[in-house]
Amino acid sequence: MGAKPRLRLSIRGHSIAFLAIGLWMWSIMPRPKMTFTPTQKPVSLMEEVVSWTVGTVVDPFMGSGTTGVACIRQGRPFIGIEIDADYFEVALSRVDEADRSPSLFAV
């Protein structure tokens, strides 16, 4: 496993991430479509977060399942917990869809 870059910059994608001494900054531009939850994060951000660790990822506040989708894309085991039944159904649908979608980078 190689070293991860300390700086990622995507002007056209509007996402900027810096990792410096444990601090992550991610600029999220407004999205044209509605999100599933008020605090939904981009899957690309959560993929960065889960790619830096090993083992099973546990998300006790799963919301719409973005972390679960990121884990599937990264080939990571995932446990998600959500108290809101409506959010749980959305998360279940998104995680199931991600699990059925073939990876572009599958070996």
**Domain locations along the chain:** 7-29+36-100
Looking only at the bridges linking them, the beta strands covering 57-59 and 23-27 are unpaired
The C-alpha atoms of residue 50 and residue 33 are separated, in whole angstroms, by 25
pLDDT at 107: 46
Total Cβ atoms within 10 A of residue 54: 8
Cβ contact 63:37 at 8 Å: yes
- The topology under which CATH files domain 7-29+36-100 is Rossmann fold (3.40.50)
Tokens of 5: 């870059």
- Say which residue the tokens 């994060």 belong to: 41
pLDDT at 1: 47
Residues of the chain under the 50 pLDDT cut: 1-2, 19-21, 107
Q: What is the reported pTM?
A: 0.68
Q: Residue 28 carries which DSSP code? A: -
Tokens of 64: 């719409």
Q: What is the pLDDT of residues 12-43, one digit of tens each?
A: 555 555 544 455 666 666 655 656 777 778 88
